[in-house]
Amino acid sequence: MASERLKAFSDGVLAIIITIMVLDLKAPQGASFAALWPLWPTFVAYVLSFVYVGIYWNNHHHLFVIVEKVNGGVLWANIHLLFWLSLLPFVTAWASESRFARDPVALYGAVLLGAAIAYSILVMALLRAQGGRTLLHEAIGRDVKGWISIAAYVLGIAGAFLHPWIGGLFYVAVAAMWLVPDRRIESRLNEL
Amino acid sequence: MASERLKAFSDGVLAIIITIMVLDLKAPQGASFAALWPLWPTFVAYVLSFVYVGIYWNNHHHLFVIVEKVNGGVLWANIHLLFWLSLLPFVTAWASESRFARDPVALYGAVLLGAAIAYSILVMALLRAQGGRTLLHEAIGRDVKGWISIAAYVLGIAGAFLHPWIGGLFYVAVAAMWLVPDRRIESRLNEL
Amino acid sequence: MASERLKAFSDGVLAIIITIMVLDLKAPQGASFAALWPLWPTFVAYVLSFVYVGIYWNNHHHLFVIVEKVNGGVLWANIHLLFWLSLLPFVTAWASESRFARDPVALYGAVLLGAAIAYSILVMALLRAQGGRTLLHEAIGRDVKGWISIAAYVLGIAGAFLHPWIGGLFYVAVAAMWLVPDRRIESRLNEL
Amino acid sequence: MASERLKAFSDGVLAIIITIMVLDLKAPQGASFAALWPLWPTFVAYVLSFVYVGIYWNNHHHLFVIVEKVNGGVLWANIHLLFWLSLLPFVTAWASESRFARDPVALYGAVLLGAAIAYSILVMALLRAQGGRTLLHEAIGRDVKGWISIAAYVLGIAGAFLHPWIGGLFYVAVAAMWLVPDRRIESRLNEL
């Protein structure tokens, strides 16, 4: 089976997830810039979640550029990934409405962790679907960045119980790792 | 007519249906994990409906992989299917907000039944549009799984009037039947 | 320019319009079928608007099957059509929440009229963009159905001021005319 | 990398942005045309933002018609543009709910300015990705219209502090400049 519809459906779901989160940015009552101030947690959480959905779309895009074949297992592994990402608007809203309290920040990390694991499962399903050693195997390599992310989410969740900002720091760091294309680090990581 | 836009439009509608249901998962007032507890019916209903939309997308995907021609009748049969699925967010919300009361659970099953019948009509419209015996006829076969689903929905609706959980059990069982790709059962069913 | 993105964007907008209208179908407070009763105007309006968006998608699909070239004018004529259709959720909500009062029903017709005129403008922009006599000219013919629709919307709006149901009757009749593919009538109309 | 998914994802996000803004057009309490009157700021802001998203879609469409290659930098430059546009529903709601007060109108302009700068960054990323002098370089030229827009947004934001309507006038003027395809002006601008 070709991957056209898998890509189209994923693009649709990710486009909706990234966009409906802005619905939580409700226009404030007042009409002055000062009235915007209480919105800062919502805005900060929106930016972080927007970046995360952007990262997932970007990685998903790169992943399927070099994929030829998909099967039923890949379709479901993909829907499983979309499920975790679909929870992002919910945990984003809870984290910001609680002004980054301990439990919501930990749950935010748990959803990121779920999505990261689901992404790894998707990659494994794709590798199995291709059969034999392919370009995909080489491109994925040992996926050091993926494992670092998963470890960082776990540390972030644990850290959130010490102080929510520790959790947030880990989540921001992982996003930055994916966002900043420091080519030296990137090639080093790929060489490992 | 080619089926490109039918697929794109269906992907769009299904992507939106699967995603807007998460809007009913509203961030709780409290900031502790305990505050999440009252959300369990919403979460359970969300997961079940998410899986159902995933199943429909998956089946729709498989169906149109081997379809060459569509006509006006197929387009409307497809829109008819999307109509029933578009009611899923509504019945999901009612079922979970009533904490799975009798009537909402029965109506949930009725919408699943409507979607299943609409899917059968779509398949028939497609078979007619192809003309002659084609790959599609062979792939569909006697569609035992489809008939079992319809029967299970009817039983589930009836069962909901005895106790809502009986209805829920039937709906979960049908989803599991489509989800778990037990190849032995699958080939047996296809052989029938 | 190819029409791929025009189709994709239109599919996206129409998919969202057809789906977000269901958000107005809010789960009732009660948990019995009786609690559904007050929702009938919302449901009836939802079905009618769903059918109308379906008709527009269907006609748009047919229109662009035989179109080769688009230009800037066509892109804007298309966005203009999407603008009118984007108002459908608003007038649907007003018509149903007012339980089909006079003014909302008239406004509903005005939006349908605006969409119909926008569709005609789109067809004219497409004819101009093709240049010379093409397949599109023949397929469109004198567009009798289009003109009947516009006349019916005008009558419907006027009729709504006598009694809302007269307006509603006209809108349902136009939808039925597009929906029921009575081939004899269809060929007669095309012959004119 | 091909630009198919970048286009599909952008179409999806823009389709959702352009459509969810209508959710702010809430059905009025009353059932007479008079009850519509208080909605005029919402409607006016909706039309302006709809036109702006239409302009961005249109320009994005034209831009990628002649683009062959995209890379990681282009993907992120595109997501950055979508981020600014995703804030449009928020500032549209604030501007209209405040009935076009000073600060909201200035912020509306700031989001337009952010989107315009993001668009310029996207164009630069695309030019770099193509390498060498290509069709794109010629088509973009010195991008006079882009620079006029940015200047007009800055003037509009500054003007909003004198009187909100001055800001609004600038924003409407820029939209009109992109919308009205006065070919003489257009070719003059391109010649510069």
Q: Which residue of A2, A8, A72 is in closest CB contact with B11?
A: A8
Q: Residues of chain A with pLDDT > 70: what percent?
A: 90
When the pLDDT of each residue in chain B is averaged and rounded to a whole number, the result is 90
**Within its chain, how far is the Cα of B27 from the centroid?**
27
pLDDT at residue D189 in the model: 53
The ipTM assigned to this model is 0.91
Q: Residue for token digits 């007519």?
A: B1
Beta carbons of B13 and C19 less than 8 Å apart: yes
Q: What is the pLDDT of residue B171?
A: 97
Write the DSSP assignment of A142-192 as a string of letters: T-HHHHHHHHHHHHHHHHHHH-HHHHHHHHHHHHHHHHS--HHHHHHHHH-
Average pLDDT over residues D83-106: 97
- pLDDT reported for residue D183: 56
Q: Is B1 on the interface with C (CB under 8 A)?
A: yes
Using a CB-CB distance cutoff of 8 angstroms, which residues of chain D are in contact with residue C16?
A: 15-16, 19-20
Determine which of D11, D44, D50, D92 to mutate to test the interface with C (most C C-beta atoms within 10 Å): D11
Maximum C-alpha span of chain C: 62
Q: Are D76 and A54 inside 8 Å of each other by CB?
A: yes
Query: What integer pLDDT is reported at residue D98 of this predicted model?
Result: 96
The rounded Cα C70 to chain-centroid distance in angstroms is: 22
Q: Do B89 and C22 contact (CB within 8 A), yes or no?
A: yes
| Residue C163 vs residue C144, higher pLDDT | C163
- What's the CA angle centered on C13, arms C9 and A60, to 5 degrees? 60
Half-sphere exposure of B114 (CA within 13 A, CB side): 17
C62: pLDDT confidence band, cut at 50, 70 and 90? confident
**Cα(B16)–Cα(C20) distance, integer angstroms:** 8
**Taking CB atoms and an 8 Å limit, are B86 and C18 in contact across chains?**
yes
Integer angstrom CA distances of residue D162 from A103, B139, D156:
46, 70, 10
> What is the token pair recorded at B139?
């792939």
B:121-180 residues touching chain C, CB 8 A cutoff: none
Residue, of B22 and C1, whose pLDDT is higher: B22
Count CA atoms closer than 13 A to C40's CA, side-chain side: 4
> pLDDT tier at A137 (50, 70, 90 boundaries)?
confident
Instruction: Tell me how crowded residue C186 is: count the other CB atoms within 10 A of its CB.
Output: 14
Q: Coil, helix or strand for A131?
A: coil
Number of H helices, E strands in chain D: 9, 0
What is the average pLDDT across B11-36? 94
CB contact under 8 A, A5 and B11: yes
Q: How far is CA C21 from the centre of its chain?
A: 14
Q: Choose from C4, C6, C9 for mutation: most chain D CBs within 10 A.
A: C9
Lowest mean pLDDT among B14-18, C94-98, D46-50, D65-69: D65-69
Which subunits have 3 or more CB–CB pairs within 8 Å of chain C? B, D
Q: Which residues contact A30 (CB under 8 A, 6 or more apart)?
A: none
C57 touches chain B (CB under 8 A): yes
Residue in B22, B33, B54 nearest the CB of A103: B33
Tell me if A15 and D1 make a contact (CB, 8 A cut-off): no
Query: Considering only CB atoms, which chain C residues are within 8 Å of B9?
Result: 11, 14-15, 57, 61
pLDDT band per the 50, 70, 90 thresholds, residue D65 = confident
Tell me which residue in C19, C28, C57 faces B16 most closely, judged by beta carbons.
Answer: C19
* Alpha helix positions (H), chain B: 4-20, 40-65, 72-86, 88-97, 102-130, 135-140, 144-162, 164-179, 183-191
Q: Which residues of B touch A5 (CB under 8 A)?
A: 7, 11, 61, 64
pLDDT band at A127 (very low <50, low <70, confident <90, very high): confident
- Looking at chain B, how many residues does it have? 192
Q: Mutate which of A90, A111, A128, A161 to disrupt the B interface (most B C-beta within 10 Å)?
A: A90
By Cβ distance, the residue of A11, A33, A62 closest to D12 is A11
Q: Look up residue C60 and give its DSSP letter.
A: H
What is the predicted pLDDT for the residue at D181?
Answer: 62
The reported pLDDT for the residue numbered D122 is 95
Is C187 touching B (CB cutoff 8 A)?
Answer: no
Greater model confidence, D156 or C141: D156
Interchain CB contact of B114 with C (< 8 Å): no
For residues C45 and C41, give the distance between their C-alpha atoms in angstroms, rounded to a whole number: 6
What whole-number distance in Å separates Cα of residue D80 and Cα of residue D124? 13
CA nearest to A120, candidates A71, A65, A63, A180: A63
